[in-house]
Amino acid sequence: VSPTKTAARPTLSRERVVQRALEMADDDGLEAVTIRRLATELSVTPMALYWHFKTKDELLAGLADRVLEDVVVPEPVEEWAEDLGALLTALITAMRPHPQAAQLVMPRMMVHPTGLELTERTLARLTGAGFDPERAGAIAVQALRTVLAMVTGDPVDDSVMTAAERDDHLRHKQALISSLPADRYPTLVAHAVALTWCPADTFLGTGVDLFVAGVRSLAPDHR
Amino acid sequence: VSPTKTAARPTLSRERVVQRALEMADDDGLEAVTIRRLATELSVTPMALYWHFKTKDELLAGLADRVLEDVVVPEPVEEWAEDLGALLTALITAMRPHPQAAQLVMPRMMVHPTGLELTERTLARLTGAGFDPERAGAIAVQALRTVLAMVTGDPVDDSVMTAAERDDHLRHKQALISSLPADRYPTLVAHAVALTWCPADTFLGTGVDLFVAGVRSLAPDHR
DNA sequence: ACCTGAACACCGTTCAAGT
DNA sequence: ACCTGAACACCGTTCAAGT
């Protein structure tokens, strides 16, 4: 008899586990992703997961790959710096819904095909703009870090929190900054709101703009 | 009788604990910093630490503050963008010996006096250059993230390792990249060495240059 | 092939107690 | 004030066993 008809097919799969883990990371932070919690939520023994993943790190790598799979590699643009911006934005777009899992992407960039493709094109455009290999490499690495830095967590505090706590938290922060001695930190106090509540789109845009502008003005072929 | 003469003075102190924890973080990574390990290395019960720190997070905050205390705030430079570069470099210099602990600095920037001073000056110079408060805030946050990104860990892999393992690891990575299909990733394969072994000074310099150049060219007063 | 069960060596933290 | 001791509710992982 075919196993698909009679026997219960395996309830678990790498995909199902990774999916659930990603949701947990999004909701409760990366440190809430636990083999044991994951197991009970999937109605299974902790050890069941070890059939599908050799270790917890492998599972986390699965999360990173899952994020990279969501990347839509953009059509090439003629102007090289603009193209760089598009590549960064593509990565940001995929990572943004999963800021927690995004932290895991770095070590997977040189393993996952999408990561490789993005890196390849970044390097190609940088060398095309006249950067020597060493400098191009350094800038490419910096680009990745910049993206991660932009996507990862809250600007002022990294502690994980539910959306519910968030407002209170921000207000608390603003109050804290506002209560600083204004004679010592005049600009800081005046900018309290801008520093804590900073609209995500403005923020992300600034990061990309900054990077692209910087690269452009450092380019050897820059007239 | 005075306690300083007869009785054994407390063997522990916040400073001693933080110092040992920092060494542990530098040597074996942040996740090796454990209340229990720390306790045994200090020849004391785990609970002894809870007299000096309310929780482990407070201890980790202590690590971050310890790093910020090493910052030498630079003398102001006339040209604003140059001054920004000096501020970034000062922070990088203090963080560089402790890449693991550096990750903890972000949430302490708006608490520790040195963090506040650096932020204040950054904002002041940005607004002085014509950026409006919102944009200045976004750039200041991005500056901090950039510094952290540059200082934190290995460019290609985040896994913690001893200096001994490091060389093998790099060679392995280069081999891995070199073995990729050269028709699909031509630039990548050609840059294998530059991407993995990238001299730290070049790398850090590139990051700062990039940021400063970007900010400068985005400045409203930019002629 | 896919999962369970029991066990091991770890965690952070609370609570009561010692000096 | 400063530290110990025992206990609790967690971890990741190994190893042997079930179906």
Residue B47, both tokens? 């609970």
Q: Of the ranges A92-106, A188-202, B1-15, which one carries the lowest mean pLDDT score? A: B1-15
Q: How far apart are CA A5 and CA A20, in angstroms?
A: 26
Instruction: Give residue B5's pLDDT band: very low, low, confident or very high (50, 70, 90).
Output: very low
In the predicted model, what is the mean pLDDT of residues A197-219? 85
What pLDDT score does B172 carry? 85
CB contact under 8 A, A139 and B218: no
pLDDT tens readout for residues B114-137: 999 999 999 999 999 999 988 999
Answer whether residue B178 shows pLDDT above 50.
yes
Q: How far apart are CA A151 and CA A103, in angstroms?
A: 9
Kindly report the pTM of this predicted structure. 0.89
Q: A95 CB contacts (<8 Å, ≥6 apart)? A: A67, A101, A102, A105, A147, A148, A151
What pLDDT score does B204 carry? 79
pLDDT tens readout for residues B30-54: 999 999 999 999 999 999 999 999 9
Find the nucleotide nearest A57 (Cα to C1′). Answer: D12
Residue B41, CB, strand D, below 7 Å: no
CA distance B29 to chain A (A): 16
CA distance B3 to chain A (A): 39
The three-state secondary structure class of B40 is helix
Instruction: Give residue B151's pLDDT band: very low, low, confident or very high (50, 70, 90).
Output: confident
Query: Nearest-CA residue to the C1' of C3?
Result: A48
Mutate to test the interface with A, among B145, B161, B169, B208 (most CBs of A within 10 A): B145
Q: How far apart are CA A38 and CA B203, in angstroms?
A: 39
Instruction: Give residue A12's pLDDT band: very low, low, confident or very high (50, 70, 90).
Output: very high
- Residues of chain A with pLDDT > 90: what percent? 67
DSSP 8-state secondary structure symbol assigned to residue A97: T
Q: Residue A113's CB: how many other CB atoms inside 10 A?
A: 12
Say how far B143 CA is from C12 C1', in Å: 34
Answer whether residue A159 shows pLDDT above 50.
no
What pLDDT score does A141 carry? 87
Q: How far apart are CA A127 and CA A118, in angstroms?
A: 14
Say how far A48 CA is from C5 C1', in Å: 12
Nearest CA in chain B to A137: B195
Q: Residue B112's CB: how many other CB atoms inside 10 A?
A: 19
What pLDDT score does B194 carry? 79
Nearest CA in chain A to B219: A210
Mutate to test the interface with A, among B80, B110, B147, B180 (most CBs of A within 10 A): B110
pLDDT tens readout for residues B55-101: 999 999 999 999 999 999 999 999 999 999 999 999 999 999 999 99
- CA gyration radius, chain A: 22
| Strand D close residues, chain B 11-30, CB < 7 angstroms | 11-12
Identify the residue with better confidence: A150 or A68. A68
| Strand D close residues, chain A 197-216, CB < 7 angstroms | none
The three-state secondary structure class of A176 is helix
Nearest CA in chain B to A196: B137
What pLDDT score does A158 carry? 43
Nearest to B198 among A134, A180, A203 (CB): A134
Name residue, tokens 């960064």. Answer: A88
**Nucleotides on strand D with an atom closer than 7 A to protein CB?**
1-6, 10-16
Answer yes or no: are the C-beta atoms of A62 and A22 closer than 8 Å: no
Answer yes or no: are the C-beta atoms of B177 and A115 closer than 8 Å: no
Query: Nearest-CA residue to the C1' of C4?
Result: A45
The distance of Cα B74 from the centroid of its chain, to the nearest Å, equals: 18
Answer whether residue A210 shows pLDDT above 90.
yes
* Opening angle at CA A121, ends B215 and A215, nearest 5: 15
Answer whether residue A166 shows pLDDT above 70.
no
DSSP 8-state secondary structure symbol assigned to residue A40: H
Residue A51, both tokens? 């059939």
Name residue, tokens 């501020």. Answer: B87
Summary mean pLDDT of chain A: 88
